[in-house]
Chains A and B, each alone.
Chain A
Amino acid sequence: MSSSPERLLLALAGLVVAAAASAQSVAVSGIGRPATPKELAAWDIDVRPDFKGLPKGSGSVAQGMDLWESKCAACHGVFGESNEVFSPLVGGTTKQDVQTGRVARLTDPSFPGRTTLMKVATVSTLWDYIYRAMPWNAPKSLKPDEVYALTAYLLNLAHVLPDDYTLSDGNIAQVQQRMPNRLGMTTNHGLWPGRTMGNGGKPDVRAVACMNNCVTEPTVASYLPDHARNAHGNLAEQNRMVGPQHGADTSRPAGAAQSAQATPPSQVPTAASGASTQALARKLNCLTCHGIDNKVVGPGLREVGSKYAGRDDAADYLAKKILSGGSGVWGSIPMPPQSIPPADAKALAQWIASGAKP
């Protein structure tokens, strides 16, 4: 066949495509290596709703209760009800919900909070998350049997499982059928960026861009009350010191004349002493459970300081308590022993004993 103009064009087009492709991609090879079975076992810990990935094992409600008291109650409360550190885990579900698979309280706008067990539809989610991320300060330290036990205890607190239940890989699929909110999820929305779920990306709100004499929302319906004016700190110190607008001096009442002066950055606290020990307390996570002034899980640090103010050995005593832990002095929730350098414990104890000043 002789070469026709069409063929010539096709050949040229082919060259162009080839050139574009070669600019784009040279085969990548020799990068990365196969993962070993041992490596996969160490990291592939996820558990899906169909229980793919779930290790074999079992644990009872009773075992879960013991683990809970030592490893979980400090943050989540004895009954999983505490909101002092995290959102409550348990509460708001009923025996009726276990039957229907929908948590009735979710339709009640006056019900104050939403606990984990009111929301979660899949028992695999609880198992997976406890296994990968709990306890808070020692994630991935629980054995599979312990995770079964803790999951059983949580579900027992919510009246999903009876007191004498032992949860295992063999019966967890039946437990799924008792989850209070198991029918409470929907993927019928437009916010999934793929084609395999949802409604194909269709938005649920359709606004139009009117330009003139538009219908407005007529009244100011909500604003911060004056007493909350300074709740986020002085806003004058949260804006650049120059510019077309300055920050409002919210340490003064609304309507008070604002200063024309630029507001310079607050003084950085001088190094040493208080500020640095407080930073240490933060770094060592003391402030997760203790406020400076207020009780969180444990007592406020200044409360502790004032309780022992009369004792000469207060700093030594407190350093010992930090390292060895204790319970009963400030309530029933124990403080676990802290594995921190003794010098840090001593610095913290001296700071607390002298009033935890910044």
Chain B
Amino acid sequence: MSDNFPASGRVIKAPETFLSKEGIRTVFAEGKRGRRDFIRSAFAAAVAGAAAPAAMAQSNPVPAEGGDPKILELPAHSTGLGQGVATDGYGKPSKYEANVQRRQSPGLTQTTQSSVSFAPLQSLFGIVTPSGLHFERHHQGWWDIDPSKHRLMVNGSDPKLLKTPMVFTMDELMRLPMVSRFHFIECGANTGMEWGNVAVPTVQYSHGMISCSEFTGVPLRVVLDLCGVDYRRARYVLGEGADGSSMTRTIPMEMVESGEVLLAYGQNGEMLRPENGYPLRLVVPGVQGVSWVKYLRRIEVGDKPWATKDEAVHYIDLMPDGKHRQYSSIQECKSVVTTPSGGQVLLDKGFYNISGLAWSGRGKVTKVDISVDGGRNWRPARLETPVLSKCLTRFNLDWVWDGKPALVQSRATDETGYVQPTFRQLRAVRGTRSIYHNNAIQTWLVQDSGEVKNVQLS
């Protein structure tokens, strides 16, 4: 690292108290340890009082009495008896985590039943989304369905497309060969509010219609084989939900044949949450969330696509020539820095870890580059393991913030060689009215105050 003092910026005292007696003692102690360059620059900053971040760290100085009361005065949890096992049969996050919630974007919809809640990406670690924070998209309200009464039917658009139309109970589906796979699910409209201009303040609202889970279920192919599907003629598959909207979407038989499309009942070690389709949903890796039909009640195989409401009125991409792209399904390679990100405040200058998520609907992420100067220069980030196909990949990179404005960006490349585009490159082809499939590079402006803003460059 080029900086001569890459340790945490948070232990540097706030400038207005920097020249206290304690501070001076610290400075001399540091000086004896040979950090004169650091001291000189620190003094300069303190004297000039310039570029002081408006946000101060939780100050962590040694108080005059010689120690932190949080250390010296033992708290109740160190001096008393704690709670017993199974106080809560299904544990919950700490009450201090209550700020970490999925949220609606005000004014986006007029009803809560046909609406969206966004996952708090700014507060999540790794690649797995806790099931209770998974983003929600309901079309006609969610239900908690009795799994013993749920049925899956498989039939054909015409009877000759399979030997036997069949029905299955959950007991039966859960007896079939089981696979578990990690995949992301992203709404086709994720980042859709940002096509024309900046519209929302934080990564929760700009990118929060994505989540990632370990899904467990049976490959749809196994069930279609049981029904004797004529794969030569039946090249399309319709999924249909059991809820009021009975959501339908067309998916290609090629994806079913590859074994990747799942009839899923498990999510992150437990059953699907009701908001995510309990007890059965489709998993269509790499494809936008609307195709992952929840409360799945029926699969129909056919020789033509269906042009359902959500592939003929919604989830169609308006191009500059006035035509709509229909059956657009793949979520192309995309990434976003989740910390630091919009609406956050850097507590001080110094060391930070830039962290974020990358994904591709076409396979594995092979590379993520980070720029802090608005795209002029880039450094490759570390990809954390596991790196899986059609799954979120976590990336991290060290960064020392010098207190000056910085434009932070990430850019992902996938195994097909596809590179995440800039807004300018994307808009040159698709205009600004598409709503769907916005995978442009996101820019966060770290202001000299430390407050981070969502911005777009052009």
Contacts and interface: CB of A to CB of B under 8 A. Distances in A.
A265 B455 contact: no
Contact of A244 (B106, B139, B352, B458): B352
B398 to A, nearest CB: 12
B111 interface: yes
A192 B330 contact: yes
B344 A50 contact: no
B54 A133 contact: no
Contact of A48 (B302, B346, B456): B302
A147 interface: no
A142 B220 CA distance: 32
Interface residues of B, number: 146
B253 interface: yes
B430 to A, nearest CB: 7
B252 interface: yes
Interface stretch (B66-74, B93-101, B271-279): B93-101
B96 A248 contact: no
Main secondary structure of the interface of A (DSSP, over half): loop
Nearest to A221: B458
A204 B198 CA distance: 23
B165 A35 contact: yes
A269 to B, nearest CB: 13
A207 interface: yes
A145 interface: no
Nearest to A203: B418
A298 B111 CA distance: 14
Interface in B246-299: 246, 248, 251-255, 286-287, 297-298
Nearest to B96: A241
Question: Which residue, A237, A265, A296, has most C-beta atoms of chain B within 10 A?
Answer: A265
A209 B347 contact: no
A104 B322 CA distance: 8
Interface in A66-86: 84-86
Interface stretch (B21-29, B41-49, B311-319): B311-319
B133 interface: no
B328 A191 contact: yes
A211 B369 contact: yes
Contacts of B420: 207
Question: Which residue, A136, A181, A192, A242, has most C-beta atoms of chain B within 10 A?
Answer: A192
Contacts of B356: none
A187 B96 contact: no
Nearest to B257: A194
Interface residues of A, number: 118
B343 A32 contact: no
Nearest to A31: B172
B343 A288 contact: no
Interface in B407-440: 407, 411, 413, 418-426, 428-433, 437
Interface string A243-268: 11111101000111111111111101
Interface string A126-163: 00110011001001100000000000000000000000
A250 B452 CA distance: 12
B245 interface: yes
A259 B59 CA distance: 11
B148 to A, nearest CB: 16
A129 B308 contact: yes
A110 B225 CA distance: 51
Nearest to A124: B307
B458 A219 contact: yes
A63 interface: no
A34 interface: yes
A31 B168 contact: yes
Given A35-B166, A116-B313, A191-B330, A244 B340 contact: yes
B157 A191 contact: no
Contact of A193 (B167, B330, B411): B330
B304 to A, nearest CB: 6
Contact of B167 (A32, A207, A263): A32
Nearest to B351: A244
A102 interface: yes
Interface stretch (A227-235, A315-323, A334-342): A227-235
Interface of A: 25, 28, 31-35, 39-40, 43-46, 48-50, 52-53, 84-86, 102-104, 106-107, 109, 114, 116, 119-122, 124-125, 128-129, 132-133, 136, 139-140, 181, 184-198, 201, 203-214, 216-224, 228-229, 231-233, 235, 237-248, 250, 254-266, 268, 282, 285, 287-288, 296
6 contacts: A193-B254, A193-B361, A198-B327, A240-B97, A244-B353, A248-B345
Given A32-B167, A43-B240, A207-B421, 18 more contacts: A44-B298, A106-B322, A139-B140, A140-B244, A184-B323, A185-B325, A187-B326, A191-B329, A210-B378, A216-B373, A222-B197, A223-B454, A232-B205, A238-B122, A255-B54, A258-B56, A263-B99, A285-B113
